[in-house]
Amino acid sequence: MDSLHQRVPHSHLDKSSIDTDEVAIARFEKHIISMHNLMIAKGQLPSMDPVRRAAEEVDGMFTTGQLPARIPNSLKQRLPAYGERRLLAIEKLFCEMGFFTEEELAQGSIPVPAALGQQPPIPFPYKVEKVAPNENNFKFNVGDKVKVESLPKSGHVRTPVYILGKQGTIAQIQGNYPNPEEVAHLANPITVMPLYLVRFELADLWGDACLPANAKDTLCSELYEHWLTKIN
């Protein structure tokens, strides 16, 4: 699905207007949030990372026009709103995880089995092997100068586009965590790797577009080790 993966653009030169009006939250959106929280608590969903990845792929489907048959006609001529996008992402993710199929979705309803009298088995118990090849062996130290690599990586990424190729300083070592870029694609096993807090000067990030009043300000971003190289 990489061909349908739509990354969110980031540009400090973007001068498009921002709609600041509050939008009412529909009831179905609250149901979606409840499903997220319940499934994470039950161990049926590792985190929000797969949902974010699926939502980005929904963006890609609409951008390319490669829409599955189950998309309602009311959505085929416009981009989905935030809640609709999240719902489509959940549908896509649940199909991947085996909760139901595309054919069952197209039917519009799925028969609910009678109560089993016991806890039903989890269709997709997301229990993975976590591999930590260099646990507690951090490549960088606080104060090290680093560069953010522009990795030719497809799929879901957790590094903002606007800091690719930029230089910063290790401000803090956050510890070892499962790589969310692997979690997002339901990989197994998952690599546990070091996470750093990297500090950037706004003047270095934005160049001539940085306002004089912000020239001495800084921005911090959490970045995983595989995105960083040390500057000697």
Within a domain: residue 121? Answer: no
CA-to-CA separations, 126 to 153, 166, 176, in angstroms, rounded? 24, 36, 20
Asked which of 46, 73, 107 is the last residue of a domain, the reply is 107
What's the CATH number where 90 sits? 1.10.472
Within a domain: residue 153? Answer: yes
Tell me the pLDDT tens digit for each residue of 24-42.
Answer: 888 989 998 898 888 888 8
Q: What tokens were used for 174?
A: 């956050």
Tell me the pLDDT tens digit for each residue of 46-98.
Answer: 889 999 999 999 988 898 888 888 888 888 888 898 889 999 999 999 888 88
Rounded to whole angstroms, the Cα distance separating 198 from 132 reads: 22
Regarding whether 134 and 86 lie in a shared domain, the answer is no
Name the average pLDDT for the chain.
84
Which one, of 100, 189, 205, 187, lies nearest residue 148 by Cα? 205
Regarding whether 98 and 49 lie in a shared domain, the answer is yes
What's the CATH number where 170 sits? 2.30.30.50
pTM: 0.79
Within a domain: residue 119? Answer: no
Rounded percentage of the chain residues whose pLDDT exceeds 90: 34
Q: Are strands 190-201 and 130-131 parallel, antiparallel or unpaired?
A: parallel
| List of residues 6+ apart from 10 with CB closer than 8 A | 160, 161, 162
The total number of structural domains that make up the chain? 2
Kindly tell me the sign of the dihedral angle through the C-alpha atoms of 82, 87, 90, 95. negative
Q: Please give the residue range of the domain that contains residue 181.
A: 130-230
